[in-house]
Amino acid sequence: MKNKWLSEFARDMVAFGSIPFLVLTIIRVSVSPLYYPMQFIISSSIFFILKAIFGGKLHAGIASILLVFISFYYKSWLFTVFALLTYIGIVISLFYLNINKKEILKGILLGAISTAGGYLIVRLIFFK
């Protein structure tokens, strides 16, 4: 019973790095200036292209994009700590669910690259 509960909790944590959660977040920040949703959209597009080429765990990459840009959006250290702890929970949950470690690390790396690329592109477009 305990393992079943932990497995369900781990799957629920991983859901924070899912495509529906990404779309929900983009819709949420769309009420703000255009550069906020564009950070998510451009970074996610880069991530999906890189994932198609190199592989990697989808949830680890999307969650890293969400961690960074939603923290920028709310501009609160308390929320940033919460988002970071949630991200750590997602990564631990992926390991707990016996996802291939190499795929998790690739997802994290590709997510970081996508986040940096999306950030720079948005800065070039909106903040010349």
**Alpha carbons 60 and 103: distance in angstroms, whole number:** 9
Let me know if residue 29 belongs to a domain.
no
Examine residue 51 and state whether it is found in any structural domain, yes or no. Answer: yes
pLDDT of residue 12: 94
Tens digit of each residue's pLDDT, the chain (128 residues): 568 889 999 999 999 999 999 999 999 999 989 999 999 999 999 999 999 999 999 999 999 999 999 999 999 999 999 999 999 999 999 999 999 999 999 999 999 999 999 999 999 999 87
Q: Is residue 77 part of a domain?
A: yes
Residue 14: inside a domain = no
Question: CA–CA separation, 78 vs 117, rounded Å?
Answer: 26
pTM: 0.92
Number of domains comprising the chain:
1
Residue 86 confidence (pLDDT): 96
pLDDT of the residue at 1: 54
Residue 20 in any domain: the answer is: no
Residue 128: predicted pLDDT: 76
In the prediction, which pLDDT does 18 show?
A: 94
Domain annotation covers residue 3: no
Q: Which domain holds residue 53?
A: 38-126
Query: What is the pLDDT at residue 2?
Result: 63
Please check whether residue 32 lies inside any domain of the structure: no
3-state secondary structure labels for all residues of the chain: CHHHHHHHHHHHHHHHHCHHHHHHHHHHHCCCCCHHHHHHHHHHHHHHHHHHHHCCCHHHHHHHHHHHHHHHHHCCHHHHHHHHHHHHHHHHHHHHCCCCHHHHHHHHHHHHHHHHHHHHHHHHHHCC
Residue 97 resides in a domain: yes
| Alpha-carbon distances, residue 7 vs 3, 54, 88, 89 (angstroms) | 6, 28, 16, 13
Cβ(125)–Cβ(42) below 8 Å: no
